[in-house]
Amino acid sequence: MEDFLFMNVIYQELLGGLHGAGLIGLAPSTQYSGSQLFVPSLYEQGAIKQNLFAMFIDNEGGSKIQMGGYNTEKYASGDMHFHKINSPMFWNLPLGPVEIGGEPYIPHVKAVMADTGTSMNLIPDEDFNPIMQKFVYSQGMNCWKMQNTLTACGCTEEQHEKVPDINFELDGQQMVIPRDMWFEKSGDTCVAKFMHHPGRNEWILGLNFFNNYYTVFDYGENSIGFAKSKNFGRKAKNGFVS
C-alpha cells in the first residue's frame, strides 16, 4: 500500500492526545485526528474487494482478522445480522432490554461500543456494582481486587453455577454473555471478567464478547454484523485466575 503513514510512538499516556487512529486504525472514523484509516485506505487503493474487516476470536489460538471480506461458512454457526451504527464516529449501537437470571435489568447506559482493542468487557461502576451485589456478593463470597484490577472471589461449584448469563438486545438481535465469559472459575477461585469505571456512557464489548460472536465491521454501510461464532458456548479458557 502506498502513501500510508505509520507513527512510531515511544511513550504515551492514555489515548486522548494520540495523533493517530489507534494501533492500526480500525475505528469507523479518525475522530478528527487527521490520521488515516487502514481498511478504507486498502479499499481505496484496490488492495481489498470490500470496505470492511471481520474478526474471529478463538481462545485456543486460532483467532483471525480478515480484511476485505468475511466467511460465515468457516467461522460462524448462524446467520449474519447487520446493524447501522449510531454515528460515524465509533462502532456504537443502541442497547436494548437486558435480562439477567430471568429478570429484567435496567442498565445505566443506552448504548454499547464494539471495540476490537479491549480485552475485557468494560461497564460503568453504576452497572458493575449492582450486578455483582445481586449475583455474586449476596452469596457470601469473599472477594478481593487482583493486581490486574479484576475482582476475584473464593467460590464453590454451587455458587458459580448460581451466577447467570447476561442476555441483552442489540437493535433487535438477541445476544448473550455466558456466565463463564464474565465469571470464570478455576479451582476454588472465580474472577469477574469485567473492567469497570465510574461514569461510562456505554458498555464496551471486548474480546470475551467476541469469543461467542463472529463480527464484521462494514465501513461502506456504517454497520456492524454479528453471527454466532463456531466457538459459541465453548467453556472459557482459564487465563485470568492467577
CA atoms of 152 and 154, how far apart (whole Å): 7
Q: For 9-31, what is each residue's pLDDT tens digit?
A: 665 565 555 454 445 668 888 76
φ, ψ dihedrals at 26, nearest 5°:
-105, 5
Amino acid in the structure at residue 47: A
Asked if residue 95 lies in contact with residue 112, where contact means CB atoms within 8 angstroms, the answer is: yes
Buried b / exposed e along 157-193 (16+ C-beta atoms within 10 A): eebbeebbbbbbebbebebbbbbbbbbbbeeebbbbb
Asked if residue 65 lies in contact with residue 53, where contact means CB atoms within 8 angstroms, the answer is: yes
Q: Which domains does the chain have, with CATH numbers?
A: 1-47 (no CATH), 52-228 (2.40.70.10)
Q: For 173-184, what is each residue's pLDDT tens digit?
A: 999 999 999 999
- What is the chain's Cα-based Rg? 19
Residue 34 has pLDDT above 90, yes or no: no
CA atoms within a 13 Å half-sphere pointing along the CA-CB vector of 206: 14
Which pTM value belongs to this model? 0.88
Mean pLDDT of 31-50: 84
Find the range with the poorest average confidence among 14-23, 62-71, 112-121. 14-23
